[in-house]
A and B are shown apart, each in its own frame.
Chain A
Amino acid sequence: VVGRPMSIDAQVARMKSTWPLFTAHNIDRAQQSARWTGHVEPQLTRYKLDIRYAVGNFPEVRILTPPLTRLPGNAEGALPHVYPPADDPTLCLFDPAADQWDFSMAIAETTLPWACDWIVCYEFWLITGVWRGGGRHAGDPPSPRKESP
């Protein structure tokens, strides 16, 4: 069951209260879109994130700094769990086939912490060569559905 879509004003307000160090840009009430930038430091390194969202589309998350490192020949690919293009990848944080995200959900409580999850797994992938965060790539069979607690 998909709830009522969250307005862009509600998303901006939730982001401001939950992630006060993130800044909202380009808030467009007509288009119901906005962009946020800010830093997170989940584990080893500080990252600048860029989140773009328009109600009706999936959020797009980019890591602006530092540049993402590729591991050519790795079993998970040179850079796992992202969407192309290769020179401007966006993080792929949920499985569209598993109904894990819809427009009623707050980016502050889903997209942004999921991006932090991605970074934690990415950092250990760089160190160990193994992606330990689970997930699947396009073409792999869907994983069993998991409910939120």
Chain B
Amino acid sequence: VTLHYADKMHLDITPGIRVADTTERESCIMHAKGPKPSHDDRLVDMNAYAFACWYQERTPLERRLAKSFDRHWRGIDELMAADEAEVDDVPDQTHFSVKNTATLALQLIKRFRNIRYADYSGRIPPSVVLSYYAALSARPNMRLSEMVIRIAKWILRDIEAASMIGRRLHVANPMCPNDVFTDRWPESVAQQNEFATYLKDLINGLEAMAKMTMAADAIGEWLREIFGDRVVTKAADSTAIRLGAAIQNTQQSYSRKGRLLVPGTGRSLSAAVAPLVAPATSAKAHTFFGVRF
């Protein structure tokens, strides 16, 4: 059963049959396109619950990041499912909750994937594969851009290794090896190579940004192309308003390298957490002047 939401999101629901004498929640689901029986109909092993536990274990709460984002999205954080039930409620749609950098980086990579494949009619890299690499490569308290690059490089490395010997990428549930996450994508080596090319673009752009050699307008254009016009424009507008107000209210300061420090903000498009460095100077009030030309 597929539930379609008004905002074009959808949720696939399928019954699972518990497999006896296996790890907690290991189940079989029916793989059948229907409505008529087919020779391809079969039971497929899965354990989404164990994968979720594995993901959570590898991506623990990072308090500094969580606190920083909690200021932006309040009234959240009730996503933990009741663990006594065999059937877990799907959490209500809530404000975006961020617990660690890997998960935030994963959200960005999923958005990047959605934009890249927006006009694509075939299968696209599944979210569960991206989640697997996010958890596998997770390291606490990295800068967001570094974490996105790290995840992208881990995916890229495995695709390139598979392509080199003419094989398709194979990713399975680490808690249930028969639960193969890449059973539908990639369908071919060419399809995974296409995603590898997109990932290289993402890595190259983020690395250029990290070197601080890209002009601001070029960064804006690149971010719009990679993550979508609407969301980047909205983020840039709100950040510009917040930082402009901080400057006008003399709440800003700068590190000895001239790096902006604004208390209590996700500082920039390129970093989610302000660096913990002592400011060189405190702010003094001033008003920009000059001429228009």
Contacts and interface: CB of A to CB of B under 8 A. Distances in A.
A128 B244 contact: no
A114 B286 contact: yes
Question: Chain A interface residue count: which class?
Answer: 35 or more
A120 B260 contact: yes
A126 B215 contact: yes
Interface stretch (B33-41, B127-135, B179-187, B233-241): B233-241
A82 B288 CA distance: 9
Interface in A55-93: 66, 69, 76-84, 86, 91-93
Per DSSP, are chain A's interface residues mostly helix, strand or loop, or mixed?
A: loop
Interface stretch (B5-13, B73-81, B96-104, B251-259): B251-259
B292 interface: yes
**Contact-residue size bin, chain B (C-beta under 8 Å from the other chain):** 35 or more
Nearest to B268: A43
A42 B286 contact: no
B254 A69 contact: no
A112 to B, nearest CB: 8
Interface of B is mostly: loop
A5 interface: no
B248 A134 contact: yes
Interface in B215-249: 215-217, 219-220, 233, 236-237, 239-241, 243-245, 247-248
A126 B220 contact: yes
16 contacts: A44-B212, A44-B216, A45-B212, A46-B213, A77-B293, A80-B290, A92-B290, A96-B289, A100-B284, A113-B280, A120-B243, A121-B243, A127-B216, A134-B287, A136-B289, A149-B285
